[in-house]
Structure 1
Amino acid sequence: MANKITDMSKIRKVIKFYCNGKSKLFISSYLSLSRNTVKKYISLFEVLELSFELIDQKTDAELELLFSQTSVEAISPRLQTLYDFFPKMERELKKVGVTVQHMWEQYIAVNPDGYRTSQFHYHYNIWGKRVNPVMHMNHKAGDKMYVDYAGKTLSIIDIDTGEVKEVQFFVAILGASQYTYAEASMSQQKENFVDSVENAMRFFEGTPAAIVPDNLKSAVIKSSRFEPTINETLADLAEHYETTILPARAYRPRDKSLVEGAVKILYRRIYVTIKETKFFSLEELNQQIWDLLDSHNNRKLTGRPYSRSSR
């Protein structure tokens, strides 16, 4: 068949090899695929601009649907120039005060024969849906810090009694850069939670405009769509650091999708690595977490030329 879909496991390997810097010739030879097939799926992957991590999380059925519905269409040089401008625009929009209108003014100054504002907005929306088909939110730098606990716990051993104590795995992430902080703490009680939030801000060396926790009791005494009641200790911390608390809305998974995604990644890069190791103090456990966290933050984002730290 002329347009037969290639086996999804091979597509995953094509994308993985490509993200790891392998040449198309190597990929074609190693996977016994034609060079045109390899070029086709790499081109589709570039059009989608998804990370390999997101691609790898999809089922074969979802992946087949994604690639079968995406095509690399021939577009005019004028439109291609516009599309080439959008990745830079996406990065600039994360900066405080930058708007789509500001970016259009930059674009039209360099391309006086380019698209007017209505078409500019239209094509940016189309481009955004193609490169971010999964739930996507635009984050401003320094705007929000998302915090949550992982569902799975870690453990330490009391050196005197040999008792194994479960400890919590706290994660914080900045919206725009995805720069991540993590630590183990003795509990999810408000004192430990507030300490972890403060440690995260010290790690980030700054205070976000807002802190977004899940609706855990350490943060929110009473949930409400309009006026949730914030734990007094957390409210005092927010007042001290001149920030605000914006709890994620109940039944609104998009509000906390970023930190939940970070938890999943850290499960693979930190939790799995240390879960079988014996630790005899919280300090010892956290030192190991922070060593692995440093590697995570300095690792280039899949399919991107930058890391969380550099961003």
Structure 2
Amino acid sequence: MANTLDPMDLKQIITLKLDGFSNRKIGATLGISRNTVNSYMKLFKASDYSFKELLSFDNVRLDALFPSLTTIDNERHDELMLYFEGVNKARNHPGFTFLYHYQEYAQHASQPYSYTQFMEHYRRKYAKVKGSMKLEHEAGNEMYIDYTGKKLHIVDKDTGELIPVEVFIAILPNSQYTYVEASQSQKREDLITSCGNALHFYGGVPKAIVSDNLKSAVTRASKYEPEINRSFKDFARHYNCVINPTRSYAPQDKALVENAVHLVYQRIYYPLREMTFFSLKDLNREIKRLLVTYNNLLFQRKEASRRELFQSIEREYLKPLPTSAYEIKDYKRAKVQKMGYVYFSPDKSYYSVPYRYIGKKTLIHYTKSVVEVYYNHVRIALHQRNPVKGTYTTNTEHLSSTHKGYTSWSPEYFKNKAAAHGANVVSCVEKILADSDYPETGYKRVMGLIMLHKSYSSQRLDNACKRALQADAASYKRIKKILENNLDQSSLFYQDLEEDKTHIPSHQNIRGAAAYK
């Protein structure tokens, strides 16, 4: 099945076009066909919107304007590439012809390419002069990132245990200006945090971030169309750049950052070898000090340092940083409940959505400060995140007319409603609310209690509440049982309670305490 470009990929194409990239270069940067880029450019220009306007559109609107076009058919292409491996081994055999091999390929392939395409793909795979490609790096164009293979360590103060930590490296290839920091892991959150720190270290943003095929960055690795994870794409969108993983089995793509790793071993790891650190903060403080020396060292042939080349050449080509730092987004699926809320499992709390989405399945996007609810890629609710567990966060505009009264619930509200049915009902309401761990739970119970008057009358409800209070059993379930079993109308027990008398009748054979002296 062919892959398709999603709206986030369309925004990456538009971003690179605004940065002055040619269609061919956009295709090479994003790892997609130049013809696909050309097709989309024609559609963009034929629309009634400028590139900047298209960039501001949400994903749904972009998807509606530009239905997905197919890119490389990976299965078909991979079948051809595997066949070429056998063809290339036979090149020097007497009598070899490409036509013979094409005819053999066409008989066995499920969807064979034409002979012209067969030869074009072969020439691309096996160029006449195949060697290590020297990459020319434009100033401000890319930032390469990777992790070192060897780890540093911090020491647990309590146990003395050595805790391994990862070391992240970023490099601007034109000036080779380098950033290094230690982090707890290579997980998505740590990777994105380290990338953000690197961009703020440089004071600007390149057009593309080139990563190795890290699991935290790439959901599905591919030589032609790797799939970037959603959070990393969102990070790139926030900083107005694109993510471009290095090609699999193409070591020349990452030669600079690999060389930087070896230099970091020599100029940072080695000076740290006899030092002990008890926290990441202390370790990064020392790395930062050594990094200054590293970037200030002169190149042997350029008679300038990494820092000088960055300041004099590369810095002016970087795009400005956004006004706010990126907050990592996570995602949870949730169904809208009957009350018009979605359950947010990380905090065990609830957030309102418009009532018309009751019963629909939604996707929650959340950061440390914000919770957004999406339905079919359209945002239907936005709330400030409340970290308190079990809370209900409500936007009154989301509620239907029957539910808006729900937002006015309070202890005073229920006491006023209970007062119409008797003083004992009010006392039971107060006790139930006082005994509830969370107000919302108590509100539902007392609402159920008050509604019992419809089935049993206010007088009986008040009597049942009085009996429950006497027995220290003030709860919705127990009061309901009293009414169902007509215990509120049991005259003997009830009258004795009224008169504060014992229910045992007076009798001459009953002896009192005096008989036992």
TM range (shorter): 0.5 to 0.7
CA positional deviation for 1:161: 2.8
Instruction: Write the mapping of 1:117-156 to structure 2, written as runs, cut at 5 A.
Output: 136-156=134-154
Deviates more, 1:255-264 or 1:133-142: 133-142
- The answer as to 2:181 corresponding to 1:183 is yes
Instruction: Write the mapping of 1:184-203 to structure 2, written as runs, cut at 5 A.
Output: 184-203=182-201
1:292 and 1:134 map into 2 onto residues whose CA distance is 33
Q: Is the 8 A contact 1:158 1:164 kept in 2?
A: yes
CA positional deviation for 1:304: 2.1
Q: Is the 8 A contact 1:154 1:275 kept in 2?
A: no
- The answer as to 2:260 corresponding to 1:254 is no
2:157 — aligned with what?
A: 159
1:161 and 1:206 map into 2 onto residues whose CA distance is 42
1:285 — aligned with what?
A: 283
SS in structure 1 at match of 2:292: helix
- The answer as to 2:300 corresponding to 1:302 is yes
CA positional deviation for 1:164: 1.3
Question: What RMSD, in angstroms, separates the aligned Cα atoms of the two structures?
Answer: 1.7
Letter aligned with residue 146 of structure 1: Y
2:229 and 2:274 map into 1 onto residues whose CA distance is 35
2:223 — aligned with what?
A: 225
* 1:180–1:159 CA distance, 2 compared to 1 (3 A): same
Consecutive unaligned residues of structure 2, counting only runs of 5 or more, are 1-18, 21-130, 310-517
CA positional deviation for 1:227: 2.0
Letter aligned with residue 148 of structure 1: D
1:305 and 1:213 map into 2 onto residues whose CA distance is 29
Q: Is the 8 A contact 2:154 2:164 kept in 1?
A: yes
Q: Deviations over 1:196-246 (max 9, x none)?
A: 111110101111100001001011010122321111111110010010000
SS in structure 2 at match of 1:237: helix
1:203 and 1:281 map into 2 onto residues whose CA distance is 21
CA positional deviation for 1:135: 5.4
Deviates more, 1:251-260 or 1:217-226: 217-226
1:276 and 1:303 map into 2 onto residues whose CA distance is 32
Give the TM-score normalised by the residue count of structure 1.
0.56
Letter aligned with residue 246 of structure 2: A
1:75 — aligned with what?
A: none
Letter aligned with residue 218 of structure 1: S
1:215 — aligned with what?
A: 213
SS in structure 1 at match of 2:204: coil
SS in structure 2 at match of 1:309: helix
* 1:307–1:135 CA distance, 2 compared to 1 (3 A): farther
1:273 — aligned with what?
A: 271
Q: Is the 8 A contact 1:153 1:167 kept in 2?
A: yes
* 1:170–1:227 CA distance, 2 compared to 1 (3 A): same
Letter aligned with residue 185 of structure 1: S
Which protein has greater RCO, CA pairs closer than 8 Å, 6+ apart? 1
Give the TM-score normalised by the residue count of structure 2.
0.34
- Residues paired across the two proteins, number: 181
Letter aligned with residue 283 of structure 2: L
Q: List structure 1 segments (4+ residues) > 6 angstroms apart after TM superposition.
A: none
Q: Is the 8 A contact 1:150 1:263 kept in 2?
A: yes
2:233 — aligned with what?
A: 235
Q: Is the 8 A contact 1:157 1:279 kept in 2?
A: yes
Q: Is the 8 A contact 2:132 2:252 kept in 1?
A: no
Q: Which protein has the larger Cα radius of gyration, Structure 1 or Structure 2?
A: 2
Instruction: Write the mapping of 1:9-158 to structure 2, written as runs, cut at 5 A.
Output: 136-158=134-156
1:141 and 1:199 map into 2 onto residues whose CA distance is 20
SS in structure 2 at match of 1:167: strand
1:44 — aligned with what?
A: none
Identity %, equivalent residues: 49
